[in-house]
Amino acid sequence: MPFKDAFNTFPKLETERFILRELRSEDAKDYYSYFSDDEVTKYWGYKGPKNIETASKTFARFENAFNRKEMITWGIATKEDDKIIGTCIFNDFVRASMVDVSYNLSKVYWGKGIMTEVLSTIIPYAFNVLDMNRIQAKVMPENNSSVKLLSKVGFVQEGLLRDYIFGEIITDTLVFSILKKDLIEGLST
């Protein structure tokens, strides 16, 4: 599928335990509930939404960015009750061959393998459907959980960006990547 055609309708994906879907206005309360937690946003580079209305307005920005083919923001919804517990985002598409990935998750769900499950679903989507060649992630060095997660799903640490602009702060930032050929080579071994 050509890159531009992948944005005709929002891509709904499924993992063993979760549905990755577009965020809806009724999700604003759940999103605000976890994303206003300072521990959740500690390594995000931005503060969370100030209130439920701000969260809802954020969803409109996500939708507009999707329509411009600039970003895909999946809400991570539980299959049991369709509750949003996190997001996973592809953004900064470069010449339809490279994309950045970022993610966040409610603190209540940390340490349960959820982001491993989610990334293991969206990585093949990026390579096989969007035809990306490279996915990269930027992480603060002290974010040990993300460093471990990215390594676990096949990302390789490439280097350190010194005093990099990370959201609204300036901090050292690690760069990780996974290439399409890495996934193919991993499947053949």
What is the CATH number for 66?
3.40.630.30
Q: Say what angle helices 114-128 and 180-188 make with each other, to 10 degrees.
A: 110
Asked, for residue 185, whether it belongs to a domain, the answer is no
Q: What percent of the chain has pLDDT over 70?
A: 96
Binning pLDDT at 50, 70 and 90, where does residue 29 land?
A: very high
Span 107-162, pLDDT tens digits: 999 999 999 999 999 999 999 999 999 999 999 999 999 999 999 999 999 999 99
**Residue range 53-70: average pLDDT?**
93
Would you state the pLDDT for residue 133? Answer: 95
Check whether 187 has a pLDDT greater than 70: no
Average pLDDT over residues 51-58: 91
Is residue 140 situated within a structural domain? no
Q: Is the model's pLDDT at 88 over the cut of 90? A: yes
Q: 165 lies in a domain?
A: no
For residue 56, what are the domain limits?
Answer: 3-133
Structural domain contains residue 157: no
The pLDDT value given to residue 129: 92
User: Is 148 a member of any domain?
Assistant: no
Q: Take residue 67 and report the two structure tokens written for it.
A: 């329509």
Examine the pLDDT at 181 and tell me if it is beyond 70: yes
Long-range contacts for 8-11 (Cβ within 8 Å, ≥24 apart)? 10/66, 10/72, 11/72, 11/74, 11/125, 11/129
- Residue 123 falls within a domain, yes or no? yes
Q: E strands along the chain, which residues?
A: 13-14, 18-21, 71-78, 84-94, 98-105, 134-139, 156-166, 169-179
* Domain assignment of residue 181, yes or no: no
Query: Does residue 50 belong to any structural domain of this protein?
Result: yes
* Structural domains of the chain, count: 1
